[in-house]
Amino acid sequence: MSNRRKDNPHDLLARYGNNRGRSNFNSQHRVQLLDRGMPRSWRMLSFALVLFTATLAGGSTLYPPGSTEIIAALCIVIIAIGCYSIVVLNTNVRSKSKIVFLRDGVMATVLATTIVGGLLLYRGVQQTGEIGQQALTAGNANGAKMASKLQLVPEAKITSTTGLAQADQPKNASKIRIPAMQVPVADATTLPPGTRITCRAPNASMVAVQVERSTADYITNLKVNDFRVTEPAGTELEFNLVSVSGSTSARTCSIVYFLDQSLTTDSNRIAMRDFIRRVSVAAPHADIQALSFGKSIHVLTPWTNNHDEVLSVAQRLHQSSGSTLASAISMKIDDVGKRPGRRLMVIFSDGVGQARDDAAMAIENRCIHHGIDVMVVRFPGRADDKRFLGDLATATGGQSLNVSDADQAASWISRWSTHKTTPYYVLRLEEPAAQWPLNVSVGGGSTRLSQAVTFTMSK
């Protein structure tokens, strides 16, 4: 037991008076409290601030360059708050505790500042090295990026049949013959004399190009560097190239139906059956298949020309929640792509595709390459997912309709199933063009062909 006398607050007030006594009491009592245990706790707090600051600063080296300054500023604010708290709490302390606190505060500040400064210096050196590396490779960076992005689809085997059916080309689709002389382009294919091209823009992010010899056959071996797309101001646009070949059979077609298991009410079943029946009448020679998707994917029928079998499974469709549509489409692309003639996917969906942007883009590219058109069928009170289903139908040259538009769908499928297509190339822009018309150039050598193409946004 300590024999040290503890002052009673009331005795202190009586001894020094109201104002002065209260002030002296506060000062002396604070000294006692600090001497008894505050120095240790505040030292722990100081080092905790240092660790917290070091953690944030260390993490900043892993963030993008733009966030380094923000985290550094946050670290400095934390240091300032810690130092300010230490100094203010010790302003009226007349004991060795003040010296201890100030020493801890200075040590914490110096240590934290050193850590932050070192990490920021390291980050700066790292960024400088990255900038130098980029500068060394600037001459080839754009070409390397284009080459890596554009070789999305193998060109050795082209089996696609989608798109530029003769009857589907707009009336204003123009043809142009090679001029006498053009500026040669390195590593580009030299086109034979008399070659002509036909260009059109199905949407704001796509340009379709046919390259035809004077002998009425089509050039199908062009590569990425044979094409160039520029805006009116001369800005060159990046694009992905998908090569497509035409259908040699006008009467052979394959249709696969995707049935959403969340659409199992009686009215929806009746609407689906009526839609399928109308399509069957429009394309009686088509080979068809049906599969369902919900929590899982089920192939309901094999490939068959028995349309009644598909109507029967549509009537017996079982209820299921969830959506595996993106997986179902991805699973069937290769199978459908091997079918002869024209190919179509008819998707009855509640409008939820649940596909990430990168997965949706991959599905679109694969459908285009394999010549698969997509028809999206919507139901009352539901809207198709514009980021996936709507874009998929547009990109493949298909249709996006209401289930009540069965007659319109039948008319479109009747034309679609009986027209041959010709080989062409799809230039899928990385970003929609900001200015139209675009200038499309094809080929190289002494004969390079160019044509302007315009896209008009539909109202």
Q: What CATH number should be reported for the domain holding residue 399? A: 3.40.50.410
Q: Are residues 271 and 360 in the same domain?
A: yes
Assign 217 to helix, strand or coil: coil
Q: What are 334-357's pLDDT values in tens digits?
A: 999 888 888 999 999 876 666 677
CA distance 268 to 227: 47
Q: Report percent pLDDT > 90 for the chain.
A: 20
To the nearest 10 degrees (0 to 180), the angle between helices 266-282 and 406-418 is: 30
Domain membership flag for residue 78? yes
- 6-26 pLDDT, tens per residue? 555 555 444 544 444 444 445
329 plus 435 within the same structural domain: no
Q: Same domain, yes or no, for 385 and 275?
A: yes
pLDDT at 44 over 60: no
The pTM of the full predicted model, rounded to 2 decimals, is 0.51
Q: Are both 271 and 191 inside the same structural domain?
A: no
Same domain (yes/no): 303, 370: yes
Residue 336, in any domain of the structure: yes
Give tens-digit pLDDT for 167-185: 344 333 333 333 333 444 4
**Lowest-confidence range among 5-9, 56-60, 151-155, 384-388?**
151-155
pLDDT 10s digits, 284-322: 889 999 999 988 899 999 999 999 999 999 988 888 877
Q: Which residues contact 20 (CB under 8 A, 6 or more apart)?
A: none
- Are residue 312 and residue 404 in the same domain, yes or no? yes
Same domain, yes or no: 389 and 292:
yes
Does residue 150 lie within any of the structural domains? no
CA terminus-to-terminus distance, the chain: 92
Best CA proximity match to 226, nearest among 185, 198, 193, 182: 185
The 10s digit of each residue's pLDDT in 394-448 is 888 889 899 999 999 999 998 888 776 777 888 988 888 888 999 999 998 777 8
**Residue 154 falls inside a structural domain:** no
Q: Are 223 and 445 in contact (CB under 8 A)?
A: no
pLDDT of residue 121: 67
Confidence (pLDDT) at 139:
42
Residue scoring higher pLDDT (416 or 333)? 333
Q: Is residue 27 part of a domain?
A: no
- Span 328-339, mean pLDDT? 92
Residue 406 lies in a domain: yes
Residues 59 and 171 in one domain: no
Q: Are 266 and 394 in contact (CB under 8 A)?
A: no
Looking at the chain, the whole-number percentage of residues with pLDDT higher than 70 is 54
Q: Among 48-62, 101-115, 335-349, which is the least confidently predicted range?
A: 48-62
The pLDDT of 71-90, averaged and rounded, is 61
Residue 93 belongs to some domain of the structure: yes
Quick check: 200 pLDDT over 70?
yes
Query: DSSP assignment of 231-288, as one string?
Result: -TT-PBPPEEEEEE---S-SS-EEEEEEEETT--SHHHHHHHHHHHHHHHHH-TT-EE
Residue 377 and residue 309 share a domain: yes
CA atoms within 13 A on the CB side of 453: 27
Structurally, the chain folds into a number of domains equal to 3
> Whole domain around residue 54: which residue ranges?
37-136
The answer to whether 368 touches 242, Cβ cutoff 8 Å, is yes
Residues 281 and 403 in one domain: yes
Q: Is residue 366 part of a domain?
A: yes
Domain end point (choices 136, 152, 174): 136
Look at strands 196-203 and 175-177 and give their pairing. Answer: antiparallel
CATH code of residue 435: 2.60.40
Residues 23-45, mean pLDDT to the nearest whole number = 50
Q: Which residue has the higher pLDDT, 124 or 316?
A: 316
Q: What order do you get walking across the sheet with 239-244 strand by strand?
A: 175-177, 196-203, 206-212, 424-429, 239-244
Residues 193 and 290 in one domain: no
| pLDDT on residue 237 | 92
User: Is the domain of 263 the same as that of 201?
Assistant: no
